[in-house]
Structure 1
Amino acid sequence: MASLRLVAALAPSPPPSPSRRELQRQPSAVRLASGVALAAAAVTAAAAPPALAALSEPANALSLPTWAVHVSSVAEWVTAMWLVWDYGERTGLKGWKGLSWGMVPLLGGAMCACTWHFFYNSESLDVLVALQGALTVIGNITMCIAAYRIFKASKEGSQSS
């Protein structure tokens, strides 16, 4: 027991975590990369403990690589929404913010799909499949409207100049 205390005492201490102000000064790409790395670490750490490996899953359970694709797709969609919104803010073109809002129903559909898979495609949650389909249709329509508004605004802008 004493040797464990000695090892713990000699072990290097972790570097201090950056303050909130320091994190806000980092470029957004650095913050995004650290968030994606954190999500990837969480996904791999969830499968690492041997106690979890002993649990049996149903035959329709998604594999770890498939979960990684699902989670990264949702993270990419949120990133795209944020980038579109940021572009609208920087340029002052409100249509781009509208496109970001038009992407929200599709994010909801993705969350429905992930939730349904998380519960092993349970028949009691089949309503999520219908909701995901409905949100996909609504999202496609809202993005189409937003894209048309961007097109219309850019056409009016080019005619006035």
Structure 2
Amino acid sequence: MHALSLPTWWIHITSVLEWGLAILAVQAYGRLRREGGWRWLALAMVPALVSAMAACTWHLFDNSEALKGLVVLQAGLTALGNGALALAAWNLLRLQRPAPEDGTP
């Protein structure tokens, strides 16, 4: 656990907890508004959460070369999460737009 200073650990851990709470808040907001698109946004947030957990795990074991695969996993999950969040945001925008009056989609 010597790879990071105590303040840096504090930021890492609280960021992971904050992201988890944000997922729950997005789900609650979607339920409150009865709009299913928010569930997709919350689901799209999960890869970023797992990515952060992978980074914390790697740091916990002093950035061990034996766990270098966690860095690759983190990078892949970050890319997947960014793409998923973009699609979920686009979906929310699509659901919020009013339907055209001529009946075309």
Residue in 2 that maps onto 1:127: 69
Quote the Cα distance in structure 1 between the aligned partners of 2:9 and 2:59.
9
TM-score normalized with structure 2 length:
0.91
Gaps of 5+ in 2: none
Tell me how large the CA RMSD over aligned residues is.
Answer: 1.4
Deviations, residues 51-104 of structure 1 (Å, cap 9, x unaligned):
xxxxxx75xx21111100000000110111110000011111000110000000
Quote the Cα distance in structure 2 between the aligned partners of 1:119 and 1:77.
22
Residue in 1 that maps onto 2:82: 140
Structure 1 vs Structure 2: percent identity of aligned residues? 45
**Superposition misfits of 4+ residues, deviation over 6 angstroms:** none
Query: With CA pairs under 8 Å and 6+ residues apart, which has the higher RCO, 1 or 2?
Result: 2
Residue in 2 that maps onto 1:64: 6
Gaps of 5+ in 1: 1-56
TM-score normalized with structure 1 length:
0.60
Residue in 2 that maps onto 1:78: 20
1:91 equivalent in alignment to 2:33: yes
